[in-house]
Amino acid sequence: MMNGNYNDMPDRRMPDMDRHDEMRERLMGKESQGTYTPERGMNRDMHMRTGAKADPQMVEQIYSEIDERMGKGLCFHEQLADYFCFLGLQGFKRMLEYQYMNECADKRKLHRRYIDMHHRILPVRQIQAPVFIPQSWSNYTTENIDDTVIPKFVKSALSEWKSWEEGTKQVYEEAWNMLKDAGLATDAGHIKHMIKDVEKELKDIHRIAETLNGTGYDVNMIHGIQDKYHEKYKSKYNEKYKKNKTKEPITAEWDRTRRIGY
Ligand SMILES: [Fe+2]
């Protein structure tokens, strides 16, 4: 039986889980560029009153912060998919794989959008990958897994997933506020969609946790719902990422000069 020292759970929390304010702080550090101060908040007067263009450096910084969070989110979701796969919970694994792919596509969309809207390229940043799976798990194989460990591992994974998404939502909301205050309504609108996606993800997590909570995380219940999730997310995945689709015809909306709508 795998004991899986899961007591180290608090120690392996991602360093950025509790630092939602870091984006704000980093932007505060840009005070010399006149973009943000803790006392004054976003220097909105500059943008709103005069209608002057938003500071490109500030915009790049906001997009970079979102991009960094998305990069870390991909690492997190990939590990979560591995985690459920390792535990033999194929339905949850499929769900996380589908989520991983969606967020990967969303990250690409963010880059594309930044180039299209701001005609610049996002700089490459080193990110510190969050570590979700305990190091000690590398000492075990799937044969060490039995039903006695499943409930607590599922419960803590759902809890960490929820914490991660709450943190992500805060990062996006911060960015949304800044873009809105800078008068960048279109950019802010895109981030608003991303916030709604995170809210939907949180709702899904809550629904699963609620279902399992009602049974005290009964292991039979956990196993019992795997087929349903497996089928649901396998078909969603295939529909979205594997199915051969007819190529979209080129239309007038495909505006090469504006570079929008690709
Ligand atoms: Fe997510």
Q: What is the mean pLDDT of residues 134-143?
A: 95
7 within some domain: no
Instruction: Tell me which of 33-47, 61-75, 108-122, 123-137 is least confident.
Output: 33-47
**Is residue 247 included in any domain, yes or no?**
no
Mean pLDDT to the nearest integer, 159-171: 98
Cα 70 from chain centroid (whole Å):
5
Q: Which domain holds residue 76?
A: 20-242
Q: How many domains does the chain have?
A: 1
Is 12 among the domain residues? no
Q: By mean pLDDT, which of 74-83, 120-129, 162-171 is the weakest?
A: 120-129
129 domain-assigned: yes
166 C-alpha to ligand 1 centroid (Å): 10
Residues whose Cβ atom is located within 5 A of ion ligand 1 = 201
Is 14 part of a structural domain of the chain? no
Q: How far is the CA of 234 from the centre of ligand 1 (A)?
A: 18
Distance 230 CA to ligand 1 centre (A): 18
Residue 196 inside a domain? The answer is yes
- Cα 224 to ligand 1 centre (Å): 24
Give the integer Cα–Cα distance in Å for 33 and 51: 18
Q: Confidence band (pLDDT; 50, 70, 90) for 233?
A: very high
Distance 165 CA to ligand 1 centre (A): 6
Q: What is the whole-number distance in angstroms between the Cα of residue 200 and the centre of ligand 1? A: 10
The answer to whether 186 and 39 are in contact (CB under 8 A) is no
Radius of gyration of the chain (CA): 21
**pTM (predicted TM-score):** 0.77
Which CATH number does the domain housing residue 207 bear?
A: 1.20.1260.10
- Evaluate whether residue 248 is within a structural domain: no
Kindly state whether residue 252 falls inside one of the protein's structural domains.
no
